[in-house]
Chain A
Amino acid sequence: MTILNENAPDAENVGRSVWFRIALIAVACAVAAFIPGLLPNLFYVHIVNLTLLSGIFALSLWVIYSVGQLSLCHAAFAGLGAYISAIISMRLNIPPALSLVLSTLATAALAAALGAVILRLRGVYFVLVTFLFGQMFTLLALNWAGMTNGANGLIGIKAVTLFGISFGPRPMFFYLAFAMFLMVLVFVWALNRSTFGRAFNSIEQNINLAETCGIDTARYQVIAFAIGSGIAGLGGALMAHYIRFISPDTFTFHNSVAYITMLVVGGRSLFWGAVLGAAFLTPLPEFLRDFEGLQHIIYGAIMIVVLRVMPGGLISLPRTLARIGGAK
């Protein structure tokens, strides 16, 4: 009886928080509907679009991080999705709306196959092998000219069209990107709350203990890697149909580092951190344009400074401020 009583408020709380979040999302949608109209010019819309795409990349990287593995080939999977979607929509005349889905699934499947082999490695070894895989992707994209058109890249990729509406123009793409971002966000949130999320979390905290408790750590790690990389593929494909040009330079090691930076600066403990990091760092170079040449230095410096002063990232800022203010 007492147990029931103790649990009851909890369940109510969870229920309330779910409704609260749904309301939050509804408000976000309502605000988003007016964003393209409110921004002063197309350049700002473009930045917002890129920010949404970065959000997708950072969130998907977080999924992999949530099982305690750091992937340095995240950009390679984004590139894989982009190339698959671009090539099948151009060569086989598949509508981009469908090729987005297909490339996402294909990327996830490839990631699952790769993950099944490489996820037995842990820590540094995993980081190194993903780094090498990223380099292999760049080499392949550069040299498989028959498929990828080499260093010149693919041009004239079709825009996404759905129900006769073209999502090519920047303000229109915003709605697509926002919908996709929201979908990914809700998916990651739901994933995080599911049994999968709990298993991921326990693996991240102590993989040996999780294994001892009967959690099939290898399986869960492969699932997380496939989901995270698949979503990265979706983001890459979206990018390909938005910019309508991709080359091996679009998805390099430096992009992988940029996604990691977003995760670190935003905060690694919760998936909100990834969103915050993307929202903070993607527009940042545009504001630093006055410091030509300095912007990348500032970027790197911010990463080090955040690690040094705020290891929890931006999401821990309120707590840090409270601590400085003298709260316990």
Chain B
Amino acid sequence: MDITTLLVQSGVNGLVIGMMYALMAIGFTLVFGIMRIVNFAHGEFYMAGAFIAFFTYAQWELPFVATILIAIAVVGIAGAIIEWVLIRPLRTDELTGMIATLGISVVLQNSALMFFGASPRPMPEVVSGLVRMGPVVFSWSRVFVIVAAAFVVGIFWLFMQKSKTGRAMRAVAQDQEAALIQGIDVGRIYPFAFGLSVALAAVAGALMAPVFSVSPFVGTAPMLKAFIVVILGGLGSVPGALLGGLLLGMIESYGATFLGSVVADMLELGLVIAILLVRPSGLMGKKEA
């Protein structure tokens, strides 16, 4: 295999995981920006999305678009309810809210373990076949993940920019009190933002389910990566999450190809700790008072 092939292959792989990280991180950072909560249960919603995809697509054989829509609806509504019932009363300070999400994560993960068992389930691919471009070969399923994720991010961006609710959410993230004065119902924005955030995680889970397998523990690694991405991009910054996700995907893919995955992982963690120390607000975040 010559170097161009290697570079292009790694690039495509980097784009696939990068888009997945971006989907995870956008939701994660959205909740942090609006509610000031670090959601340690974010990965469990990814896991939920993966399981929904498995049951609706692999077992009931619904079309994949329906699968994604069901995942968004089910996880989004469940997320809004969880915010309403469990997180809202505990949002008094950052640490308490964070500890609550740790508890939610334990409950969700072990519930999945109890109902579905620990063994990973393989899932059939959504599109099959290979793309050949000269010496470069990659599967259509990878391209599909990239395109679908980009589509979802695009819709999310349009929603945040143009719709009334999206603008209200950005207003609350900027200044909660000022938003309140403008007549925005902050109490309604919270569960909506939380639901939207975890629905994005569910989309990531559903899209990646055919690439990786489906098990109760699949959410942990993407959540860890989402942490890294939001630190990289800046806590609370949505463009930062997109940029950071793609950047991390590329670093990981090329790092693993040329340095080995262990070295790449250690380097990545070291890089993030360095960024936190030198510029805690991340690449695109705003300085906090």
Contact = CB atoms under 8 A, between A and B. Distances in A.
A and B associate in one complex: yes
A280 to B, nearest CB: 15
B6 interface: no
Given A123-B94, A308-B86, A311-B96, A132 B110 contact: no
Interface size band for B: 35 or more
Given A307-B96, A307-B99, A311-B96, A128 B86 contact: no
Nearest to B266: A139
Interface in B251-289: 262, 265-266, 269-270, 272-273, 276-277, 280
Interface residues of A, number: 35
B273 A307 contact: no
A135 interface: yes
Given A139-B269, A297-B110, A128 B231 contact: yes
B198 interface: no
Given A300-B106, A303-B106, A133 B98 contact: no
Contact of B38 (A124, A297, A300): A124
Contacts, number: 97
A261 B228 CA distance: 24
A308 B89 contact: yes
Given A132-B272, A139-B269, A301-B107, A117 B99 contact: no
B111 A297 contact: yes
Contacts of A131: 227
Given A143-B262, A293-B113, A303 B277 contact: no
Interface in A114-134: 117-118, 120-121, 123-125, 127-129, 131-133
B90 A308 contact: yes
Contact of B276 (A129, A294, A304): A129
Interface in B204-250: 224, 227-228, 231, 235
Binding site of A, secondary structure by majority: helix, strand, loop or mixed?
helix
Contact of A139 (B95, B113, B265): B265
Interface of A: 70, 117-118, 120-121, 123-125, 127-129, 131-133, 135-136, 139-140, 143, 257, 260-261, 264, 293-294, 296-297, 299-301, 303-304, 307-308, 311
Given A117-B277, A125-B280, A307-B100, 10 more contacts: A70-B98, A123-B95, A127-B95, A128-B231, A129-B273, A129-B276, A131-B227, A140-B266, A296-B113, A307-B90
